[in-house]
Structure 1
Amino acid sequence: MTDGFGQGWTVAYNGAGTVYLATATRDTFFIGSCIAFPWSAILASSSPAWGSTTRQEVPGVPPIADPIASTRRLGENLAMPILPKERDPRLITIRRGGSLTDEDHHLLAEWAALCAEHVLPFFEDACPEDARPRDAIAVGRAWIRGEVPMRDAHRTAFVANAAARGLPDPARFAALAAGQAVAVAHVAAHYLGAAAYAIRAAAASVAVGNAEGARLQELGWQRERLPATLRELVLEDQRTRNDICWGVFTG
Structure 2
Amino acid sequence: MPIETNPPLLNEEDLRNIALWAAVCAERALPIFETEAPDDTRPRAALSAIRAFAQGGARTAALRKLAWAANSAAREAGDPAASAAARAAMAAAGSAYAHPIATPHQVNHILGPAAYGAQAAALAAVDPAGIIEAEVRWAIAQAPPEVRHIVQRMPARAPSKGQFHALLYRLDRGLRQ
Identical counterparts, % of pairs:
33
Equivalent-residue separation in structure 2 for 1:156 and 1:242 (angstroms): 31
Structure 2: give runs of 5+ residues left out of the alignment.
1-6, 100-105
Which residue number corresponds to residue 171 of structure 1? 82
Contact 1:174–1:198 under 8 Å retained in 2: yes
Higher helix content, 1 or 2 = 2
For 1:178, give the aligned amino acid. Answer: A
Structure 1: give runs of 5+ residues left out of the alignment.
1-93
Task: After superposition, give the CA deviation of every residue in 1:134-160 in whole Å (9 maximum; x if it has no partner).
Answer: 110001111223434332211111100
TM-score by length of 2: 0.76
Q: Relative CO higher for 1 or 2, CA cutoff 8 Å, sep ≥ 6?
A: 2
Contact 1:111–1:191 under 8 Å retained in 2: no
Contact 1:151–1:186 under 8 Å retained in 2: no
Equivalent-residue separation in structure 2 for 1:187 and 1:148 (angstroms): 15
Equivalent-residue separation in structure 2 for 1:118 and 1:153 (angstroms): 20
Summarize the Cα distance change of 1:235–1:216 in structure 2 as closer, same or farther, 3 Å threshold. Answer: farther
Which residue number corresponds to residue 116 of structure 1? 26
Equivalent-residue separation in structure 2 for 1:238 and 1:123 (angstroms): 32
Contact 1:150–1:186 under 8 Å retained in 2: no
Contact 1:116–1:177 under 8 Å retained in 2: yes
Structure number with larger C-alpha Rg: 1
TM-score by length of 1: 0.55
Kindly tell me the number of residue pairs found equivalent between the two proteins.
Answer: 153
Equivalent of 1:229 in 138, 146, 149 = 146
Q: How does 1:1-251 map to 2 (within 5 A)?
A: 98-164=8-74, 165-187=76-98, 189=106, 190-207=109-126, 210-234=127-151, 240=157, 243=160, 245-248=164-167, 249-250=169-170
Equivalent-residue separation in structure 1 for 2:120 and 2:112 (angstroms): 12
Higher strand content, 1 or 2 = 1
Equivalent-residue separation in structure 2 for 1:148 and 1:236 (angstroms): 25
The alpha-carbon deviation at position 232 of structure 1 amounts to 4.9
Summarize the Cα distance change of 1:132–1:242 in structure 2 as closer, same or farther, 3 Å threshold. Answer: farther
Equivalent-residue separation in structure 1 for 2:26 and 2:155 (angstroms): 17
Across the aligned residues of Structure 1 and Structure 2, the Cα RMSD in angstroms comes to 2.3
